[in-house]
Amino acid sequence: MRISDAALPLLLLVFAVATLVQAYHGNMSLPSAATLAGCKRSCGNLTFDYPFGTGSSHCFKQPDFELICDDTTRPPRLLFKSSTTEIVESPDSWSSNVAFSHTISMESNVSMYNMSWDAPGKSFALDYALMNITGCNFDTYRVLHDHEGDMPAKLCSVTCPNEGITEAVARQTCNGTGCCSVSVEIAANSLQLMFVRHGKGNYEPDTHSNRSSLWNTINITTV
């Protein structure tokens, strides 16, 4: 990738949609060593350098690059402060693995659900995503935007012939039975997904059947 004097590209590979995030920011002059003295440069077994940082504002370039270290977990988790996106590989000037997950709860008489995953700040753009999507009896669409309006593009379908199938079993193959795996080229600041239930589409809780909890939610996870 070519680096011009006007812009330094930064790529972040997102985990769980294995998602690639691309960041663009202006000409960057590094602060002096004295300015960065005392700035934390690690979280658990991950390390990071300027423009990323935690704590005081002089430790990172701008708010988009501010990180937080959640040391209440073991091992500690490194996240962008402005989002729930987790960094799972030490970021460098080009790329880093990150993780994202989201759960949608089914509701009675609702046939369509929407989800948006935004890049962790205006300095970044999502490049691609690899995701596992679990649940029962729905189609997944990516919503594309152009001058004619929103255009849904089908990504995958999920069915559950066996009502008792569990999420753990579905994830073992993720072949469309309780789970589907999709790879998406994004090249934008956000990814919009739409989920449409099969048939009449309406979800009705059934506490008297052998249905597993897989029927009650849609889970989107980067891999």
pLDDT tens-place string over residues 73-90: 999 999 998 778 889 888
Lowest-confidence segment of 27-31, 33-37, 133-137, 184-188 by average pLDDT: 27-31
Question: Do both 90 and 114 map to the same domain?
Answer: no
Q: Work out the average pLDDT over 118-128.
A: 81
In the three-class reduction of DSSP (H, G, I as helix; E, B as strand; rest coil), residue 47 is classed as: strand
Residue 179 lies in a domain: yes
Total structural domains within the chain: 2
Question: Do both 114 and 182 map to the same domain?
Answer: yes
- Residue 160, pLDDT > 70, answer yes
Per the prediction, the chain carries an average pLDDT of: 82
pLDDT for position 212 = 87
In the three-class reduction of DSSP (H, G, I as helix; E, B as strand; rest coil), residue 119 is classed as: coil
Structural domain of residue 138, as residue ranges?
Answer: 104-121+132-222
Question: Do both 215 and 137 map to the same domain?
Answer: yes
Question: Do both 89 and 111 map to the same domain?
Answer: no
Question: Do both 79 and 24 map to the same domain?
Answer: yes
Residue 30 lies in a domain: yes
CB contact at 8 A, 195 and 103? no
Non-local (6+) Cβ contacts of 178 within 8 A are: 134, 135, 136, 158, 159, 160, 165, 166, 167, 169, 170, 171, 214
- Residue 19, pLDDT > 80, answer no
Residue 172 lies in a domain: yes
Residue 85 lies in a domain: yes
Q: Tokens 């989920």 — which residue? A: 195
Look at residues 23, 155, 169 and name the one whose alpha carbon lies nearest to residue 98. 23
Question: Do both 85 and 115 map to the same domain?
Answer: no
- Residue 4, pLDDT > 80, answer no
Q: Work out the average pLDDT over 176-195.
A: 92
Question: Do both 70 and 141 map to the same domain?
Answer: no
Question: Do both 141 and 82 map to the same domain?
Answer: no
Residue 126 lies in a domain: no
Question: Do both 138 and 86 map to the same domain?
Answer: no
CB contact at 8 A, 116 and 190? yes
Residue 1 lies in a domain: no
Question: Do both 45 and 116 map to the same domain?
Answer: no
Q: Which two structure tokens, joined as six digits, stand for 183?
A: 């790879």
Residue 38 lies in a domain: yes
Question: Do both 94 and 108 map to the same domain?
Answer: no
Question: Do both 61 and 167 map to the same domain?
Answer: no
Confidence of residue 210 (pLDDT cuts 50, 70, 90): confident
Residue 127 lies in a domain: no
pLDDT for position 20 = 52
Residue 202 CB neighbours (<10 A)? 12
Model pTM greater than 0.75? yes
Dist CA 19 CA 59 (whole Å): 26
Q: Work out the average pLDDT over 22-49.
A: 80
Q: What residue spans of the chain are helical by DSSP H?
A: 33-36, 167-173
